[in-house]
Amino acid sequence: MFGRNKQNNQLEGQRRRVTGMSQPAPTAFSYHTKRSDRNPNAGSGRMSPAQADEIELANNKTVSKALRLSVFIGLFIVLLGVIFELRVSTFANVKLIQPDGFSYQTRPISQYDAVVSKAIGASLYDQLKLTITSQDLSNYITARLPEVQYVSVAVPFIGSTPSVYLQLQSPVMAYVTNEGEFLLDNQGVVIAPASAISAKQLSQLNTVINQSITGVNIGSRVLNGPSVSFIETVAQSLKIKAVPVSKMVLVPGTEEMDVYIANQPYRVKFNLYEPDALQQVGTYLATIATLKQKNITPSQYIDVRVDGRAYYK
C-alpha cells in the first residue's frame, strides 16, 4: 500500500511539472515594461489632474475672451452714445434779434438758416458741444451776412439742435442813390433796403444823398466809419441847436458835404474828412449869429471847411 501511494505521488509530481512547463509565466522585466507603456487611467473613465487643469485653463481663457469682447462692445456702444450726445446738428434753430427801435429782415429766413448751417459744418470743432464757440460762428456768419452784428449760440444739454441768435445791426443812416434808398450801419455798410423798415422808423434816421454812386448792394461799403461818425455828429449838433436840416448831400469827386438848412437860401459846406466835426459846426453857428446881427443872409453858401475860418456868399 505504501508502495502504491509513493508511485501515485510521483506521477502527480510529474503532471505538475509538465503543466507548469506548458504555461510559462512572463518575466518580471516584461511585465513592468508593458505597464509603463499604458495610460494608468486608460479604461478607467478618469483624467489626470494635469489634464483637468489644462481643460479648466482653456475654459477660463474662453470665458475671459468672451468677457473682454463683451466689455469692449459695451464700451464701444457707450462711446458712440457719448459722441452722439456731444454732436451738434448743423440744422440750427435760428433766431433774429432786432435792434432797439427797429424791426427789419434783409433776406428770407431760409438764407439765414443756410448760412448758419454752413458755418457749423465748416469746422469739426463747431460740431461738438465741448468745442463749439460763438466767435468762430460769428466770424463766418458776419462775413456773409453784413446786417448781422454778432452771433450767440446756445447748445442744449440733451439733444443736438443748437439755438443760434443773430443780433442785427442797428441802422444809423439812410443813404439815397439813383438806384434806391438803403440803410447803413455805423461802418458805412449797406445792411438793408430802406423799405425793410417802416416809414416812422425811417423818419428817425438822418438821410444823406449821393447821386453819383452806382452798383450799391447789400454788403456794399459806401462810406467809412469816420465819415459816418462825422455826418452823425453834424446832424445831431445842429438838431440840438434847433437848426433844422432839410437834406445833406455828398458832392461827387470831393471831400465836401453840403448841408441845406430848412427855409434858408444857402447851404453849409463841410469838410467830410476833417476829423473835428464839432469845430466846423461851431464855426457855422458863430458865423450865422454874427451875420444875423448885421442883418445879412447869404444867398448861396457858408463855407466852414477851413479850420477857424468861414466864407459866405
Residue-wise pLDDT tens digits, 99-124: 999 999 999 999 999 999 999 888 87
**CATH class of domain segment(s) 93-168:** alpha beta
Residue-wise pLDDT tens digits, 220-266: 999 999 999 999 999 999 999 999 999 999 999 889 999 999 999 99
Average pLDDT over residues 155-168: 88
The confidence band for 61, taking pLDDT boundaries of 50, 70 and 90, is low
Average pLDDT of the chain is: 82
- Integer CA distances (angstroms), 256 to 90, 107, 244, 267, 271, in order: 49, 34, 20, 12, 5
- Distance, CA of 133 to CA of 233 (rounded, Å): 36
Model pLDDT, residue 33? 45
Q: What percent of the chain has pLDDT over 90?
A: 55
**What is the chain's Cα-based Rg?**
52
Model pLDDT, residue 168? 96
- Distance, CA of 168 to CA of 191 (rounded, Å): 9
What is the topology classification, in CATH, of domain 173-312? Answer: Rossmann fold (3.40.50)
Model pLDDT, residue 100? 92
- Exposure of 113 in the CB half-sphere (CA atoms within 13 A): 8
Most confident of 1-10, 75-84, 135-144, 167-176: 167-176
Structural domain boundaries in the chain: 93-168, 173-312
- Distance, CA of 216 to CA of 298 (rounded, Å): 36
- Distance, CA of 304 to CA of 276 (rounded, Å): 12
Model pLDDT, residue 32? 47
Average pLDDT over residues 145-159: 89
Convert the chain into a string of H (helix), E (strand) and C (coil): CHHHHHHHHHHHHHHHHHHHHHCCCCCHHHHHHHHHHCCCCCCCCCCCHHHHHHHHHHHHHHHHHHHHHHHHHHHHHHHHHHHHHHECCCCCEEEEECCCCCCCCCCCHHHHHHHHHHHHHCCCHHHECCCCCHHHHHHHHHHHCCCEEEEEEECCCCCCCCEEEEEECCCCEEEEECCEEEEECCCCEEEEEHHHCCHHHHHCCEEEECCCCCCCCCCCECCCHHHHHHHHHHHHHHHHCCCCEEEEEECCCCCEEEEEECCCCCEEEEECCCCCHHHHHHHHHHHHHHHHHCCCCCCCEEECCCCCCCEEC
- pLDDT surpassing 90 at residue 192: yes
Model pLDDT, residue 9? 52
The confidence band for 292, taking pLDDT boundaries of 50, 70 and 90, is very high
Rounded to two decimals, what is the model's pTM?
Answer: 0.70
* 163-168 and 93-97 beta bridge pairing: parallel
Using CB atoms within 10 A of its CB, is residue 301 exposed (0-12), middle (13-18) or buried (19+)? middle
Q: Is the dihedral of CA 147, 255, 209, 313 positive or negative?
A: positive
Q: Which residues contact 25 (CB under 8 A, 6 or more apart)?
A: none
Residue-wise pLDDT tens digits, 9-34: 554 555 555 444 445 545 444 444 44
Average pLDDT over residues 142-152: 93
Is the Cβ–Cβ distance between 285 and 275 less than 8 Å?
no
With cell 446832424, the residue in question is: 235
Model pLDDT, residue 193? 95
Model pLDDT, residue 73? 66
Question: Which is more confident, 14 or 164?
Answer: 164
Residue-wise pLDDT tens digits, 29-57: 444 444 444 555 444 556 677 766 666 66
